[in-house]
Amino acid sequence: MPRLLALAPILLCAAALVLSLLCLFAGTNKTFLEDYSIVTLNTSRLGQSALNTSRSSDNPFISFIDNVTNTISSDINSDLNSFAKDLGLHDFYSAHLRDYCEGYYTPGPVPNATLSKHSIHKNVTACSNHTATFNFDPRAVLQRELNASGHSNINLTDLKWPEAIDKGLHALAAAQKATFVLYCVAIALIGLALLLAIVSVFFDGRISAFVNVLVDWLAFLAIGLASAIVTAVAVKASHVINHYGNSVGVSASKGGKFLILTWVATAVMLAASLVWCADCVVERKEPKRVRAGKGKGFGGEYENGRF
Ligand SMILES: *[C@@H]1O[C@H](CO)[C@@H](O)[C@H](O)[C@H]1NC(C)=O
Ligand SMILES: *[C@@H]1O[C@H](CO)[C@@H](O)[C@H](O)[C@H]1NC(C)=O
Ligand SMILES: *[C@@H]1O[C@H](CO)[C@@H](O)[C@H](O)[C@H]1NC(C)=O
Ligand SMILES: *[C@@H]1O[C@H](CO)[C@@H](O)[C@H](O)[C@H]1NC(C)=O
Ligand SMILES: *[C@@H]1O[C@H](CO)[C@@H](O)[C@H](O)[C@H]1NC(C)=O
Ligand SMILES: *[C@@H]1O[C@H](CO)[C@@H](O)[C@H](O)[C@H]1NC(C)=O
Ligand SMILES: *[C@@H]1O[C@H](CO)[C@@H](O)[C@H](O)[C@H]1NC(C)=O
Ligand SMILES: *[C@@H]1O[C@H](CO)[C@@H](O)[C@H](O)[C@H]1NC(C)=O
Ligand SMILES: *[C@@H]1O[C@H](CO)[C@@H](O)[C@H](O)[C@H]1NC(C)=O
């Protein structure tokens, strides 16, 4: 009789495999789970503090605005968004495991009396090409967009982009690159655990339970480590950006949905390995009965028609 206890780990491993694949592929294009980002950077008010402080015309950003508006009006701040659009900049940049996406907040980026925070939606316009060793570098991304719109004379220093953000994110670059490799290792191990669980339906016995425990624990450790590192990156990056960026109108939020996804995958994998542990204990408690019904190893089982 096939071992029914193996069905639970099969379902759990399959669930963990799907969840971890979703983590890996979230946001690879603008329609596929784009809101499952690791960190979302909100640059919709970038440039605000350049407007407030020295409005000197040797800042190319200020002269760009003065050139466009021909007025030095006080409520230029409310039009900041349209200037940013003219410069090729977007409202938000959401970093995923292998790429980033960008877009605008609709109907507007900043909540006001008539616009509640909940009615603001992200309108994703594009996602970058994916690379295995993706590393989110907002300064390079923003400068590339300024260059692409023909404003390479304006640099991020003119927009008062804090250098401390670059330093803080640079410190996380290695961890960010490692997460992709860890997710791949974890997915391979979870796939192996799933195969072993399927095979174990037909071959019971302590050895198969031990092999399953081992592989499931390794898979759990890999996905757990990947989740821990990606959580650390998300928390640290959003902290650094908010700490140095809030005063210049830049903010960030960590991706709650992505973190839930990856930690649920970890918990499911833990459950799978606990089921195999329980199976080991059960097998150990009744070794006599198991052995008596077993014939001589796998060959004997096969001949007895147990396969
Ligand atoms: C986005 O990717 C998913 C899965 O990779 C695919 O099913 C979907 O068709 C893609 N959508 C677009 C617009 O490319
Ligand atoms: C810039 O000035 C506006 C009012 O003119 C104010 O509401 C805003 O908080 C200021 N921003 C910064 C970053 O100082
Ligand atoms: C201002 O606009 C004029 C023409 O529209 C252009 O030739 C000039 O380079 C602009 N100056 C700046 C600082 O952008
Ligand atoms: C609130 O923001 C929206 C979008 O930016 C704008 O259309 C609306 O006029 C604003 N309302 C007020 C009261 O400022
Ligand atoms: C974007 O950032 C600005 C400035 O920090 C903030 O006022 C606004 O509420 C943010 N918008 C969203 C949708 O988070
Ligand atoms: C989203 O952006 C696209 C192109 O940038 C635009 O055509 C579309 O109307 C926008 N959607 C909303 C809801 O604003
Ligand atoms: C993305 O890939 C396309 C072709 O696949 C290439 O033409 C384009 O230059 C790439 N973009 C970037 C930013 O690397
Ligand atoms: C943008 O243009 C400037 C000057 O044209 C160049 O020095 C810089 O390398 C460019 N940056 C990017 C990210 O393309
Ligand atoms: C940015 O531009 C200013 C002049 O507008 C220049 O002094 C500064 O060196 C530039 N910074 C970088 C990193 O290119």
Name the residue ranges covered by the structural domains of the chain: 4-281
Mean pLDDT of the 217-239 span: 96
Query: Is the CB of residue 143 below 6 angstroms from any atom belonging to ligand 8?
Result: yes
Distance 183 CA to ligand 9 centre (A): 39
- Residue 174 pLDDT > 70: yes
Q: Look at residues 142, 159, 123 and name the one whose alpha carbon lies nearest to residue 34.
A: 123
- Residue 155 pLDDT > 70: yes
**Tell me: the pLDDT tens digits for 99-154?**
999 999 988 888 888 888 899 999 999 999 988 888 999 999 999 999 998 888 88
What does the pLDDT read at residue 64? 80
Query: Is the CB of residue 107 below 6 angstroms from any atom belonging to ligand 4?
Result: yes
Residues 294, 297: Cα–Cα separation, whole Å: 7
Give the model's confidence band at 292: pLDDT under 50 very low, under 70 low, under 90 confident, else very high: very low
Q: What is the pTM of this model?
A: 0.84
What does the pLDDT read at residue 259? 97
Query: Is the CB of residue 60 below 6 angstroms from any atom belonging to ligand 9?
Result: yes
Mean pLDDT of the 169-173 span: 92
Query: Is the CB of residue 114 below 6 angstroms from any atom belonging to ligand 4?
Result: yes
Distance 154 CA to ligand 8 centre (A): 10
- Residue 290 pLDDT > 60: no
Residues sharing a CB contact under 8 Å with residue 267, sequence separation 6 or more, in sequence order: none
What does the pLDDT read at residue 250? 92
Ligand at shortest distance from the CA of 91: 5
What does the pLDDT read at residue 297? 41
Query: Is the CB of residue 48 below 6 angstroms from any atom belonging to ligand 2?
Result: yes
How many CB atoms sit inside 10 A of residue 54's CB? 10
Residues sharing a CB contact under 8 Å with residue 153, sequence separation 6 or more, in sequence order: 60
